Structure 1
């Protein structure tokens, strides 16, 4: 259906957004955020399920016969120290798994996602006389851990609420506010993060012959890992392998007993992904054996995200509605992105097509062409940066509108 031309949003949503931004919570700890979501959904007339997948919240609004549409927003923040200078910037901290105090910030924009979906849910509830069907709003925990969507599914999400015919959602991005982007097919990469522990034999720095130096072992392992993409993966495939952390030892004259690497793999094809993982294991164990390591290395999965695949028909339908509303020049195709998401788990677990798009959130004045070739895209702060903060106006109003337009596109017309 044609998108509504004028949609006003509740001014209190700005205060809500600033409050969520000022009070971020890490994955599976979104207790305060969930409580706010529950109160707002109940006030809007939704049936509400709480503690789905630990801290997830689901609202269901049944409005007669018609399609069932699920819309998802994630709620968690990141262990990042915010450096935006905003008067509503986060100064929050939390204790991590190792007992260390870490800063916490909404450096990825999930506070905006939550606010937008709450605003859209209230608006659709107010306008229930104009549509028919069932709206399911999913407020997901722990997206940054790659575990929240699966936790909700494992907790019986689709056994407890109506199974949707389509799953929709959005993610704010460094595109200029007013632009929306979506890519059909494999849209966001699979991501595998691994922790590798290399076992050596410690000794005094003056007696290297008594040691098996894990730092040298780590160095040779890192160098060999760099050949996986360049020499073992077809040139037509797209994949990235990054060693993002290496740690060993605490003193200049002591050869330590072990070293730790953390690495991340991005891929779009399961065969390529499996080959990379097998190569990593072969190289790690081979380098350890070549060094005469006294113990086997261990490889532990930290987190895993599957490939996000947009259904071409579903995405085309949603973007078509956006084009009617915003104009076709404001709808972009960003191509496949190397970022990762777990929203696809919600769709594949119930067999529904996915329609997932990027919402522009950067100041339009910073851009010249405003498309995917604009050099400003490499200069404006991006998600996960300590400087990242979407501009509230017009990002928030467009984000609310986008959720409403998309939902109404899939829901039925009122009799």
Structure 2
């Protein structure tokens, strides 16, 4: 019976899969016109307009900011939520693509002008979910239930999913969106095009970010003995933080501590008054998370005391992502369907990722089962060559990232 159902799905896809060329064009348009987190106005308008053209989709906008939801009710059956993201990153694009982003915008969160790029694949996610929405609309005579196509803002900063929930996403008196039986999501990754991977249980790490201000005593470069140099203090702190992973955590556990930003001073001959670090932590258990955060605080405090800082450091928790966890029963069902359709290109042996997602914030308040998977976006020949030459690290990422949409 199950095999017949899965075969039926493949037949439906063959029969009703929409022409994907308009969605490739849409992907290019979205890629060329990225918007930062919390500023996704035009992107949300494009998504809402497309959903509005599909007869039967009830479209809701401005949920938790610029969030968009399209609801397709199609008789009795389960309710399934499908999720994509709207926002882009403050990255200068270097792909050289004909449709590359050349955008620079004022980031309203800090009033700094920044380049913007869809360096994380959200443009592809949106185009894919809109194409899936058209497919489900075209094939609606063959299935029953309700589909929720959700386009989430502000994923990159880890707050968009929670903002939608806080805005009453599943409050029947607020937006009248049904509570899903299951939520599904996916992410394009630096893997071979066509590959799809998932797993039961933990799929991705939790993450925490901190802004740390270290205080020194400014002075002139010719008289360093009259100052407390925050640059030297910051440099020492960065090096000491690396011992958390190598000397304070179980080597059988995966932990990442990264100092992604260090800013201090404005002239070569002036010792500044302070330095700022931005620190990111990745963990896979609440116990380890607590231990690592406390270690960061302890080391920062101790270094400041050792250098004679005039006042204690300021340590601000500026963002977090929850652990990404796949429900076992739901993952088994989704995996069986994917295995029968995609055959050898699908696997349940996904590597647990140190990347982080706020997808779980959509589902955890109501304990909604969820399944998340990764799919490849690297040109097949490029991937195969990299594997053969042992050079997977040369696969482009971030500012050079360009998913293969032709295959």
Secondary structure class of the residue paired with 2:318: strand
1:88 aligns with 2:88: no
8 A contact 2:60–2:69 mirrored in 1: yes
Q: Quick check: 1:9 aligned with 2:18?
A: yes
Residue of structure 1 in register with 2:263 after alignment: 247
The offset of 1:388, in angstroms, is 0.6
Q: Distance in 2 between matches of 1:369 and 1:186?
A: 30
Note the C-alpha offset of 1:288.
1.2
Is residue 387 of structure 1 aligned with residue 400 of structure 2? yes
Alignment of structure 1 residues 238-317 onto 2, 5 Å: 238-317=254-333
Shift of 1:147: 0.9
Q: Is the 8 A contact 1:17 1:111 kept in 2?
A: yes
**Paired residues of 2:236 and 2:303 also in contact (CA < 8 A):** yes
1:234 is aligned to 2:271: no
* 8 Å Cα contact 1:179/1:332 also seen in 2: no
Q: How does 1:178-257 map to 2 (within 5 A)?
A: 178-257=194-273
Structure 1 pair 304–374 and aligned structure 2 pair: CA distance change class (3 A): farther
Cα separation, 1, equivalents of 2:229 and 2:28? 51
- Give distance in 2, aligned partners of 1:262 and 1:316: 39
Are 1:78 and 2:89 counterparts?
Answer: yes
Equivalent of residue 184 in structure 2, options 168, 171, 174: 168
Q: Number of residues paired by the alignment? A: 391
Partner Cα distance (1:264, 1:50) in 2: 32
Q: State the SS of the aligned residue for 2:144.
A: strand
TM-score, normalised by the number of residues in structure 2? 0.92
1:42 aligns with 2:48: no
User: CA offset at residue 250 of structure 1?
Assistant: 2.4
Give the deviation of 1:368 after TM superposition. Answer: 3.0
Measured in 2, the distance between the counterparts of 1:332 and 1:81 equals: 35
Matched, 1:29 2:39: yes
Distance 1:254 1:329 in 2: 58
Note closer, same or farther for the CA distance 1:297–1:354 as it changes in structure 2 (3 Å cut). same
Q: Taking structure 1 as reference, are residues 163 and 233 closer, same or farther at Cα in structure 2, changes over 3 Å only? A: same
Contact residue 71 and residue 136 of structure 1 kept, 8 A: yes
Structure 1 unaligned blocks of 5 or more: 395-415
> Quick one: distance in 2 between partners of 1:201 and 1:145?
33
CA displacement, residues 178-203 of structure 1 (integer Å, 9 cap, x when unaligned): 11011221111111111110011112
Deviation of 1:374 (Å): 8.7
- Give the deviation of 1:301 after TM superposition: 2.1
Q: d(CA) in 2 for partners of 1:179 and 1:369?
A: 16
What's 2:151 paired with?
Answer: 139
| Residue 320 of structure 1, CA deviation | 1.5
Looking at structure 2, the residues matched to 329 and 392 of structure 1 have their Cα atoms a distance apart, in angstroms, of 17
Root-mean-square deviation (Å): 1.8
Partners of 1:217 and 1:179 in 2: how far apart?
46
CA distance in 2, matches of 1:127, 1:175: 30
Query: For 2:389 and 2:66, how far apart are their aligned partners in 1?
Result: 39
Structure 1 pair 100/81, CA: closer, same or farther in 2 (3 Å)? Answer: same
- Paired with 1:316 and 1:249, the residues of 2 have a C-alpha distance of 54
Is 1:201–1:294's contact at 8 Å kept on the other side of the alignment? yes
**What SS does the aligned partner of 1:111 have?**
helix
**TM-score of the pair, normalised by structure 1:** 0.90
Whole-angstrom distance in 2 between the partners of 1:329 and 1:31: 36
**Structure 2 gap ranges (5+):** none
Cα distance in 2 for residues equivalent to 1:377 and 1:9: 34
- Compute the displacement of 1:128 (Å): 1.2
Deviation of 1:30 (Å): 1.1
Check whether the contact 2:383–2:395 (CA below 8 A) recurs between aligned residues: no
Equivalent residue for 2:29? 19
The CA distance in 2 between the partners of 1:244 and 1:142, in whole Å, is 20
Deviation at 1:8, TM superposition (A): 2.9
Q: Partners in 2 of 1:47 and 1:370 — Cα distance?
A: 45
The 8 Å contact of residues 181 and 368 in structure 2, kept in 1 or not, is answered as yes
- Equivalence map 1:85-164=2 (5 Å): 85-96=96-107, 97-159=109-171, 160=175, 161-164=177-180
Q: Secondary structure at the match of 2:10?
A: coil
Shift of 1:338: 0.7
Counterparts in 2 of 1:217 and 1:374: CA distance versus 1, 3 Å? same
The answer (yes or no) to whether the contact 2:190–2:378 under 8 Å persists in 1 is yes
